[in-house]
Structure 1
Amino acid sequence: MSTLDQTRATRPTPTAKAVHSWSLFRTLGRYVALGSMPSGAIEERQEGGLPLLELPAELARHGYTSTQLCHFYLPSLETGYLEELRAAFVEAGVELECFLVDDGDLTHPVEGPAQLEWVSGWLDVAATLAPARARVVAGKQAPDATTLAHSADQLRELARRHPAVRVVTENWHALLPDAASVNELLDRTAGEVGLLVDLGNWKGPGKYAELAAVAARAETCQAKVRTSASGEVDAEDYRACLGVLRDAGYDGPLALVYDGADPDEWNRLEDAAAIVAEVFG
């Protein structure tokens, strides 16, 4: 059985409670490990919050059975620590469904080769944690035939180096601003790389059509909610985004994403989960 077949055979369904750990940034004390974000996109901080080793049990306490984990939360890359974290997820009954490498630019015109090695190192970490998938950034350069072809080559190289984990990328950053770019990139990877679709990365009135154009190719999802200034979930928009996935026959995990103004992350995630149950239930 191929890696893709294995992940499809075991992945959670849309109605199983799943969460993206970015939703719990405040719960985890806004922790960002030293040196984990070389681009500086997120400020490094190492104080307060729930220790990562305690996160699996806390997720289980709130009814979650699946999660996606940001790479920058790891306070140690020692094998012993990674094995302890993996065991904590197993003991809690929470699947580490996707490990998220949240930095790197495989298409950088100068630093591209070094960026490839940096991302590859994080996929070595993922192999120890043993998630079903690992998501990497396709690139941060504007899309054209050259950058898309180069990104596809780099992604396929990463997938071949790390056969124990299914490498996926996301409709995110400058290289993939629309469905046409996503589809061209995936076509160029010839099935060796999958798609994580993020419901919140495209904006504007055309986003539903854009999502519909890639939804059938998605094997996992960051189901991000749009929120008001006070942090309330935009239920109408969320139903519409989820409906696009449902109508495309999507049957994989929906990792809830809430990063609105309301600091009560857990309850706002419950709001999102209720809408998922309504649309997919």
Structure 2
Amino acid sequence: MTTSLDPTKALHTWSLFRTMGRFVAPGSAPTGALTEHDGTDGLALLELPAALAAHGFTSAQLCHFYLPTTAPSYLTELRDAFTAAGVDLECFLIDDGDLLDPEGAAGERWISGWIDVAEQLGAPRVRVPAGDLPPTPERLERSARGLRSLAAAHQGLRVLTENWRSLLVDADSTRRLLDLVEGEVGLLIDTGNWDGADKYEQIAAVAGTAECSQVKARETAAGELDVEDLTRSLTVLREVGYTGRISLVYAGGDDDEWGRLEQMHEVARSVTG
């Protein structure tokens, strides 16, 4: 079933990591996946919504590690900044934590605390990683239990996971996990997380059930977008009937992140019809 893709100009805020001064808040990356950095020379988070609006974006997926504090007064100020700028906070992204943490419930508790933050920001959705160990039946079942527990504890927003990290390495593991959560948790599809000759077939196998997306641009050389890959990824989403927003992800080597995002948006516009 071919559908028209949502034309909303949307992005994943990882795309602006350099613009944000490579800021990673203290305590926001316990697994070491990111290196803490003060980012004082970058765009302040409270200024981000207005900057997004100035570049024509009306929707954003916000990385948790950009928050310098989770004090209620700051969260209210940030929520108001998004509202004032007319930018919709589509999804709050928890980019660390591990539901397969060998210490048991510690990973789930840490993630749950950040879902509390998402709720205070008024985000309708939150994306959490499913786990960071290779898939086995037992690990998929453990992850599903943790995801369902988080969803049950936070019924004011929709919990999603992503085809990401070591657990969800292919369509088979992703579909198995989705079967195990029985609709209580949804999927965010990232077109850049899987590689290989069958990348597009793998994406197509699960993307039709996804509720949100992250569409990454590969590069053919430093700062040069792989337009063919981006177009094929977008076309797959359209052809499998994906109906959510197209949140662009620039993770390349060009410091002109806004410029590359604009180029990506032009490619997306050519496919959304």
TM-score relative to the length of structure 2: 0.97
Paired residue secondary structure (2:76): helix
The residue that corresponds to 1:228 in the other structure is 220
Query: In the alignment, is residue 246 of structure 1 matched against residue 238 of structure 2?
Result: yes
Report 1:110-149 matches (<5 A): 110-149=102-141
Within 2, Cα distance between the matches of 1:237 and 1:72?
Answer: 29
Query: In the alignment, is residue 181 of structure 1 matched against residue 177 of structure 2?
Result: no
Deviations 1:43-102 (A, max 9, x none): 101122011000000000000000000000000110000011001001100000010000
The residue that corresponds to 2:260 in the other structure is 268
Query: In the alignment, is residue 195 of structure 1 matched against residue 190 of structure 2?
Result: no
Uncovered stretches (5+) of structure 1, i.e. residues with no partner = 1-12
The residue that corresponds to 2:67 in the other structure is 74
The residue that corresponds to 2:14 in the other structure is 22
Within 2, Cα distance between the matches of 1:139 and 1:234?
Answer: 29
1:196–1:220 Cα contact (<8 Å) kept:
yes
Paired residue secondary structure (2:105): helix
Higher relative contact order (CA 8 A, sep 6+): 2
Among 68, 84, 95, the alignment partner of 1:102 is: 95
- The runs of at least 4 consecutive aligned structure 1 residues that moved more than 2 Å come to none
The residue that corresponds to 1:209 in the other structure is 201
Within 2, Cα distance between the matches of 1:147 and 1:92?
Answer: 42
Within 2, Cα distance between the matches of 1:176 and 1:112?
Answer: 19
The residue that corresponds to 2:77 in the other structure is 84
Within 2, Cα distance between the matches of 1:162 and 1:256?
Answer: 27
Deviations 1:16-66 (A, max 9, x none): 100110000011100000111011111101122011000000000000000
1:215–1:245 Cα contact (<8 Å) kept:
yes
Report 1:12-51 matches (<5 A): 14-46=6-38, 47-51=40-44
Counterpart of 2:62, as a letter, is L
1:105–1:112 Cα contact (<8 Å) kept:
no
- Once the two structures are TM-superposed, the CA of residue 14 in structure 1 deviates from its matched residue by 2.4
Within 2, Cα distance between the matches of 1:237 and 1:45?
Answer: 32
Calculate the aligned-residue CA RMSD, in Å: 0.8
Uncovered stretches (5+) of structure 2, i.e. residues with no partner = none
Query: In the alignment, is residue 255 of structure 1 matched against residue 261 of structure 2?
Result: no
Deviations 1:162-207 (A, max 9, x none): 0111000000011000000000000100100000000100012110
Query: In the alignment, is residue 57 of structure 1 matched against residue 50 of structure 2?
Result: yes
Query: In the alignment, is residue 168 of structure 1 matched against residue 160 of structure 2?
Result: yes
Within 1, Cα distance between the matches of 2:103 and 2:67?
Answer: 24
- Once the two structures are TM-superposed, the CA of residue 112 in structure 1 deviates from its matched residue by 2.9
Q: Percent identity?
A: 55
Counterpart of 1:98, as a letter, is C
